[in-house]
Structure 1
Amino acid sequence: MPTSEAQEVLFGDVARQARSGDPQAQLALGQMLLNGVGVARDESAALRWFLASAAQGTPMACNMIGRSCELGKGVAIDLHTAMLWYERAARAGLDWGMYNFATGLTLGWGGEKDLPAALAWYRRAAALGHCKSFNIIGGFYEDGWAVARDLRRARAYYVRAARCGDFRGCFNLARFLLQEGRDAEAERYVAMARQMGTKEFLEKMDAFLERRVNA
C-alpha cells in the first residue's frame, strides 16, 4: 500500500476514534490535520480537535492550543492566550508545556519578563529529561540570567543537551571545546549540529565559525 494511501487509511481510523470521544485520538487527529498527514492541511479543524482533547484534560492538547495561539495556526496570534494554555500544560506535568511556558516568561509574553520563574520551569522540564531545557539553562548560567554567571555549570548543561541530541546544545558545547583547544572534539559536535539544525541556525553557526577563523 503506497504511503499516501496508508496515511489516508490511518487518518480515517483516527478520525473514527476521535469522533467516538477518545481524547488521545482527538489529539492525534488534530496533529494530522495540522501537518497534513493523510488529509489536506486544515489548521482551524486541528485547533477544534485540540480543544476537544484539552476539554478532557490532555496536557499535550493544551500545549498544542498554546502553539496554535503563539504561531497563529487556525487562530489569530495571541501570546497572552498562548501563555494561559502553556501554563495549564506545564502545571499538568508536561515537559513541553513547562518549556514553552518558561520561554514565554523569558520573553515577556504574559506581560513582564520573569527570568527567575522561567528558570524554575526550565529546571522542572530538565528534571524530566527535556533536552532543549538543558541548553537553555546552560545559557542562563553562561550569561548570568537570574543566577550568578558560572561557565563551569553552563558547560555541564551544554554537555547534557548535546548528549541527548539538541543541536543548539551541540554547538554551544563545541564553542567551549574550541576555547579549550579541543578542536577535533569540537568539530564532531559541529557536525552533529549541522545534521540536525535548521537552515536559519546553520547560517548563524557558520557565520560564527567564519568570524573565529578570520579573527
Structure 2
Amino acid sequence: MTASLLAVLPPEAVIAPAQADETAAAASGGPPSAPAIDLLVQRAKEQDPDAQYTLAVLGLTGKLGKQEPASVIRLLSSAAGRGHREAIFLLGTLQLKGWNMPADPVRAAALFTRGAQAGHIQSQIALARALYDGNGLSRDRQAAATWFQKAADKGSGVAQTNLGLMYLRGDGVQQDAGKGLALLTKAADAGLPGAQYNLAAAYAAGEGVPADPTKAQALFSQAAEAGNQRAQYEYGLHLVTGKFIAADPREGMKWLLIAAVGADRPLASQARETVKRLTPTIGNAAVIDAGELSKQWLTKRQWQQVKTQ
C-alpha cells in the first residue's frame, strides 16, 4: 500500500476573505446586506483589491444571486493585478481547473509562482504540487520540496504531510524517515485527516517506519471518523480482511459502505465493488448490520454539519 501526495485544496476549501474588516467578513457568513453590497461595489469601482476579491468570492459562492462568471474573473484579475495574494491564488486555482475558461496549467503555475514568492502559503503548496507533478512546469521534485518546506515552516499541515511523505520515501529529498515521521505526526496531531490517513498507511505497511498495527488502527479510525473517504475505504478493507490490523468484518463493512457514498466518485465506485466482492465472505447478516451502523454514522455526521452551519 503506497500513500500518495495530498491533492491541492479545491477552490471551495480556500476561498476565505483576506482581511478582517466588514468587506471581507461579508464572504464568510450568510448573504450580505444590501448596504454592505453597495459599499463593496463602491470600493471595487475605486479599485480596492480587498473589495474586488470579496465580491468575487461572494459571486463564486452564490451569495450575490446569479452572477456572470466573466464578472467574477474580471474582479479577481483586477485584484490580482494589484498584488492581492488570495486573488492571485484563487484565480490560479480556477485557471487550473478550467472554471468557465479553458484550463491552462501553465498560466495557473505562473500565478501560483507569483503568490508563492509573495509568501502566500496556499500558493506555495500549489506551486510545490505543480512542480512535483510537472503540471504547467517542468517536473522538479527537489524544488517542490523547497516550496513545501516554506509552507510547512509556516504551519501548513498539508505541506507538512506532503513533505513528510517525500522524506519517508526519499522522493526529491534525501531519505530521512525520522524527519518524515516527525512532519506527518505534527500534522496528524494537529487534526489533519489527510495526515492521519497517510501516517496510518505508513505504520500499516511499514513504509519508512517500523510497522505498528496499533498506531495504524488508531490513526485510520481518527481519519475515517473525521470524514476522510480514502481512510474510510482503506480502514474498512483492512478490518474486513484482517490485513495489517485486527479483523472486525462488521465494522469494516460499515466503513466500506460509508466510503461507497462519498464525494470521490471513482473511490465510491471502488468501495461498492469491494462490498459486493466481500459480502459472500462475511455473510448477508453482517452486511445488514453494517448497513444500519453506516446509516447511523451518516445521519450523525449530517446533523453535526447542520449544527456547524
Verify the 8 A CA contact 1:96 1:125 in the aligned structure 2: yes
The structure 2 residue matched to 1:58, chosen from 120, 138, 142, is 120
Tell me the residue number matched to 1:188. 254
Aligned partners of 2:206, 2:165: CA distance in 1, in Å?
17
74, 83, 86: which is aligned to 1:24? 86
Q: Secondary structure at the match of 2:261?
A: helix
- What's the TM-score once normalised by structure 1's chain length? 0.85
Q: Which residue among 52, 68, 90 is the counterpart of 2:130?
A: 68
Structure 2 residue ranges without an equivalent (≥5): 1-58, 282-309
- Which of 48, 54, 73 in structure 2 is aligned with 1:11? 73
Output the CA distance in 2 between the equivalents of 1:211 and 1:184: 11
Contact 1:115 1:145 in 2 (8 A): no
Match of 1:199 among 240, 251, 266: 266
Residue equivalent to 1:170: 232
Kept in 2, the 8 Å contact 1:9–1:38? The answer is no
Contact 1:132/1:166, CA 8 A, preserved across alignment: yes
Deviations 1:92-111 (A, max 9, x none): 21111111111211222224
CA contact (8 A) 1:63 1:97 kept: yes
Q: Which amino acid aligns with 1:20?
A: R
Aligned to 2:179: 117
Quickly say closer, same or farther: Cα 1:198–1:121, change in 2 above 3 A.
Answer: farther
Matched residue type, 2:256: V
Count of residue pairs the alignment pairs up: 214
The one of 79, 82, 88 equivalent to 2:141 is: 79
Corresponding letter in the other structure for 1:183: P
Contact 1:79 / 1:110 at 8 angstroms: preserved in 2? Answer: yes
Structure 2 residue aligned with 1:131: 193
Deviation at 1:149, TM superposition (A): 3.4
Q: How does 1:89-104 map to 2 (within 5 A)?
A: 89-104=151-166
Contact 1:135–1:158 under 8 Å retained in 2: yes
Is the contact made by 1:62 and 1:85 (CA closer than 8 Å) also made in structure 2?
yes
Q: What corresponds to 1:39 in structure 2?
A: 101
The secondary structure found in structure 2 opposite 1:149 is coil
How far off its partner does 1:81 sit? 1.1
Task: Give, in whole Å, the separation in 2 of the partners of 1:191 and 1:65.
Answer: 35
C-alpha deviation, 1:201, in angstroms: 8.7
Q: Distance in 1 between matches of 2:92 and 2:250?
A: 44
Q: Kindly tell me: are residues 10 and 186 of structure 1, through their superposed partners in 2, closer, same or farther at Cα, counting changes over 3 Å?
A: same
CA distance in 1, matches of 2:239, 2:221: 11
Q: What secondary structure, in the 3-state scheme, does the structure 1 residue paired with 2:73 have?
A: helix
Displacement after TM superposition at 1:142 (Å): 2.3
Q: Deviations over 1:193-215 (max 9, x none)?
A: 2333463796599579848967x
Give TM-score scaled by structure 2 length: 0.61
Deviations 1:101-159 (A, max 9, x none): 11211222224322221111111111222111111221233234555533222111111
SS at match of 1:195: coil
Q: 1:164 to 1:77 in 2, by over 3 A?
A: same
- Are the aligned partners of 1:51 and 1:65 in contact in 2 as well (CA < 8 Å)? yes
